[in-house]
Amino acid sequence: MNYIEQLLKTPVSKKLWLYLPFSVFFIGIFVFNWVFLQFNDIDSGALIARNIELYGKNINFLQTILPISSFFFVLILWVRVVQKQSLLSLITARKKVDWKRIAFSFAVWAAITLLIFFYSLYSEPENFKWNFDWAAFLPFLLMALVLIPLQTSFEELFMRGYLMQGIGLASKSRFMALVTTSFIFGMMHISNPEVGQIGYYILIYYIGTGVFLGIITLMDDGLELALGFHAANNLIGALLVTSNWTAFQTNSLFVELSSPKDSLSLITVLTQVGIVLPLLLLLFAKVYRWKDWRNRLMGKVVEV
């Protein structure tokens, strides 16, 4: 049974309008936030800097991540209570969640992230400053280990799970579900301070990452690989190195001193989206023996 098609014979497919309230509400929050910042000419980076000055990085981190982490539980309640859908079908088409897939994806991307970072640290040490402060890092570590997996899991359950399944059922098109959710995922980052610092081309990275996560979800008939990747990306990044121009500004081990355009240049973004992620996609395809790419990514959503 395929990831989207498994819902065709359930009550969920008969009440597609139920996908609208939660989706419109959550996406509407981001649209309102972006419009508010634009019309009031407010710099999101300046807001974060002021909040850190008033409350410190740990409280700022908590205020940033707690609201979206709480949506994890709201989505679960909506899916179970309102839509009467099983959590298993939201996560995977398998008979049970494959935790080994989650662990493998997490480990691979964590290893790649660490290799890239330590290469940068070795080749350009002047761009990084050791930032370790045990009194500040320990409470941040505890918060990060709990809240970041909730945040990333919600984003995957909503984007590559709930929204992809809903759009797939409504449009009967896997390709439409992939493209739409990838674009929405990218645009939800448009208010991040790095967009203002670097330019809108950074959205290529976010949309490209959304495409990658959507592909591995459709090809693997489940969210496990996407869940592991996203958790590793945010958790390792937040703990290891941050800067004063990103959405996450934490008590990490290192602080990056290079300018935004040096750190995330167009070449860096295109390398990540055009080379690193496709190579990782090939690795997953090899390990899990994916076949029938055309149908799985572009085929119609029909009963099998």
DSSP 256: E
- What is the C-alpha separation between 190 and 168, in angstroms, rounded? 25
Model confidence pLDDT, tens digit, residues 110-155: 999 999 999 999 999 999 999 999 999 999 999 999 999 999 999 9
What pLDDT does residue 113 have?
Answer: 94
Other CB atoms within 10 A of residue 105 CB: 25
Which residues share a beta bridge with 222?
92
Q: pLDDT in tens for each of the 304 residues of the chain?
A: 799 999 998 888 889 999 999 999 999 998 988 888 778 777 777 778 888 889 899 999 999 999 999 999 999 999 999 999 999 999 999 999 999 999 999 999 999 999 999 999 999 999 999 999 999 999 999 999 999 999 999 999 999 999 999 999 999 999 999 999 999 999 998 888 778 778 888 899 999 999 999 999 999 999 999 999 999 999 999 999 988 877 778 999 999 988 766 666 777 888 889 999 999 999 999 999 999 999 999 999 987 6
Q: Tell if the pTM clears 0.75, that is, is over it.
A: yes
The order of strands in the sheet holding 254-256 is 128-130, 254-256, 241-242
- Torsion angle of the four alpha carbons 263, 266, 267, 273, in this order, in degrees rounded to the nearest 10: 100
Q: Is residue 84 left, alpha or beta, with left meaning phi > 0 and alpha meaning psi from -120 to 50?
A: left
Q: What are phi and psi of 222, to 5 degrees?
A: 175, 165
